[in-house]
Each structure stands twice: as structure tokens, then as C-alpha cells.
Structure 1
């Protein structure tokens, strides 16, 4: 009886650990589990961006920094690699470049130069979306990671409910909620 209870408890713990439903310091915090995996991913991103033309050194470094955190879980009010909310992620990434960015997405928009035409976006610019409800109120922010200057479509890195990820502007959820764009702090 006692050994079956121990096996059952061990199975539940293993399941919780595997699904990330634990606050243990041993839980998988990001997509990458080692420094080597992070370095390999950064090299892959460098190769990927060669086909998009020349990027400034600051743009490459910004992307390399942002991509390191893909897979980090969403945490409301989060500002560290233990968990980010959308504006906390933006603030954290730019802080790595000694650039102070306001804490909330609305304040980030208010403090930045507007970009009216999406075809003028550059890597590192900020894009703003309404929150869960479609409205004109800013509720989400991301960092532009790719741009097609002919069509104005772009990809952005952000912290969503499923964690830090890269998403296309053509994603139906975000396409309906897109509001505005601003020049990034490194521009």
C-alpha cells in the first residue's frame, strides 16, 4: 500500500514537472535548456537574417538578445526571465542595451515617435495592439523582428499568454488587434 502511494505521488510530480505546472527552480523556464542551445539558436538566427539584407549591428544584437528568451513563460507583471508580461519583456530587452523604456505598453507608445506606414518599420521598432477585447486602447506590445517593406507585413517578438514567441502580423488574432507602431528606442 505504501509503495503504491509513493509511486502515485512520484507519477503526479513527474507529470507536473513535465507540463511546467510547478514553481520549482528546476522547471523548464525557456525553450533552451543550456547555454550551448542558446548559442546554436543565435547562430541559426544570424544565418536566417542574412537573407533579409544587411542589419545594423545593434539590430542583430537586439534580435539575438530577444530570441534568447523565446519560451520563457508569461507572468502577469513579470519583468525577469522567470516570467514576462508583454511590456516587461520589452523593458527587459532594451535594458540590456542601457536604454530605459517605460514600464507599460501605453507609456511605451506615448514616449515614442509614431510610424504611420507599416512599410517603414525596421527591426527593433515597437508595435502595439489592443488587448483581449478589440478596441482602440493599447493593451499589448511587441518588438519588430522582420519586415517586408513592400507589403508592410512584419513579425514581432512578444510575451503572450503562451510565453515569449515570434508571431506574424498576418496571424488573425493580432491582425484584428493591430493599432499602431513606433520607432524603437535604438533607432
Structure 2
């Protein structure tokens, strides 16, 4: 039979190793949070792999197609950023940025093509240059796919509503 001192000693070693493992796990989680900071360039690199994906009304699947908000939602979901699934959900979202403060990864919000009071289109800035920025989006127009367009084109500049940052 083992002595009570031996049992206490073994229990102390077992308990201390459990505590050490718990502390290591906490440190690992803290490191993971630091490593998951979102790099704006990564958003654009990720989104560009879908260039040419067909436009599909209400689509949010790269194998079938995207609509504008489905594309933006899909891209940001990859980075664990929650954004509205419908373009109209962007109307009251975020704080409007000044053109000189636009950054890649910001979301451009546009009024609808026919109705200039309802939000109807969104895209992600891929080249920031104020009102001459370029953005990637799922277009239902001539391109009919995920494409890159110029914000200063007549089609988009007349419909521009705001630019917002959706990143934490």
C-alpha cells in the first residue's frame, strides 16, 4: 500500500500539470486573436479570385453566381465579418466616410438604378483614390459578372450614396 504522502505528492503533480496546460491554452487563444487581424489587401486578393463569376439574382454561391450583396456578404464572411445580405441593409449601416478617407476594403453603397431613394447596389473598394476609386462587385449590367468598375463613371457616380468601413 502506498503512503499518504506519496498520494498527496502525486496528486499535487497531477494538479499542477493540469493548471499549466490550462494556462498554455489561454496563451494560445490570445495569440490566435492577434493573428486573425484582417489585412485589407487580403480581402481584395480573396475577392479577385471570383472575377468573372456570373451574376445571379439573390445569388451568394461562387459555383452558381452572385448578386451584389451576396458577393460582398460572401467575401466578408470568409473573414468572419458580418455584413447585411441585402443591399438595402447598408442604408443605415456605418458612418459615411469622406472621399479622401476611402480605403481598400471599404464598402461603397449606391442607390438603385431606377429608384434614386432606395439603396440598390454595393461593392468593395479595391483601389482607393477618393471619388476616382475602383471597386469590385457583382454587376447585373453589361458585364453580368463579378467585375471591377470605376466609381467616377457616369453610371456609378450619379448613384453613389456613401462609403463605409465594415471592418472591426
The TM-score, its normalising length taken from structure 2, stands at 0.71
Q: For the Cα contact (< 8 Å) 1:58–1:186, is it kept in 2?
A: no
Question: Take 1:111 and 1:144, find their aligned partners in 2: how far apart are those partners?
Answer: 17
Aligned length: 128
Flag the structure with larger Rg. 2
Aligned pair 1:148/2:142, yes or no? no
The alpha carbon displacement at 1:58 in A equals: 0.8
Deviation at 1:180, TM superposition (A): 1.2
TM-superposed CA distance for 1:62, in Å, is 0.3
Say if 1:129 and 1:138, in contact at 8 Å, map to a contact too.
yes
| Greater displacement, 126-135 / 74-83 | 126-135
The 5-angstrom pairing of residues 1-187 of structure 1 reads 58-81=39-62, 82-115=64-97, 117-133=98-114, 135-149=116-130, 152-161=131-140, 162-183=144-165, 185-186=166-167
Hey, what does 2:31 align to over in structure 1? none
Q: Summarize deviations over 1:89-116 as a string: whole Å, max 9, x none.
A: 000000110111111112134232321x
The DSSP-based 3-state class of the residue aligned with 2:158 is: helix
Unaligned runs of 5+ in 2: 1-36
Name 1:23's counterpart in structure 2. Answer: none
SS of the residue corresponding to residue 114 of structure 1 reads coil
Structure 1 gaps, min length 5? 1-55
| Pairwise CA distance, 1:147 | 1.5
Take 2:91 and 2:126, find their aligned partners in 1: how far apart are those partners?
A: 18
